[in-house]
Amino acid sequence: MAMLGDLPGRPSGQLLRRALRHWAFVTLRPGQGEMPAQDRLVLQWVAKASRPLVDLHDPVLARDVLESLRRKLDGGEAAVETMRRKRKVLVHALHYAVERGELGSHPLAKIRWRVPKPAVAVDPRVVANPYQARDLLTAVSYVGGYRRARGRRLVGLFAGMYYPGLRPEEAVAAALPDCRLPGAGWGRLIVHRTRPQAGKRWTDSGEFHDDRGLKNRPPGDIRVVPLPPYLVALWREHVDTFGTADDGRLFFSERGRVLTYTTYHRVWNEARGLGLPPAITSTPLAKRPYDLRHSALSAWLCAGADPAEVAQRAGTSVEVLLSRYAKCLYDRQSINNQRIEGLLSAYDRPPEPDVA
Q: To 5 degrees, how large is the angle CA 306–CA 310–CA 312?
A: 120
| Closest alpha carbon to 133 in 167, 161, 152 | 161
Beta strands in 186-269 (DSSP E): 187-191, 223-227
Task: Report residue 332 CA to chain centroid gap.
Answer: 25
Burial of 203 per CB tally in 10 Å (0-12, 13-18, 19+): middle
User: Are the C-beta atoms of 194 and 215 separated by less than 8 Å?
Assistant: yes
Looking at the chain, the domain(s) classified CATH 1.10.443.10 span 124-332
Task: Tell me what pLDDT residue 203 has.
Answer: 77
**pLDDT at 54 (0 to 100):** 93
Fold of 124-332: hpI Integrase; Chain A (1.10.443)
- pLDDT averaged over 10-residue windows placed end to end, the chain, 356 residues: 92 93 82 87 95 93 93 89 92 95 91 81 88 96 89 97 96 97 96 88 78 86 95 97 95 92 95 94 95 92 87 91 68 70 76 64
194-246 pLDDT, tens per residue?
998 887 777 777 788 888 888 888 888 999 999 999 999 999 999 999 999 99
d(CA 126, CA 286): 5
The pLDDT value recorded for residue 81 is 87
What pLDDT is attached to residue 348?
73
Alpha-helical regions (H) of 202-323: 229-242, 261-275, 278-281, 291-302, 307-314, 318-320
The model's pTM: 0.81
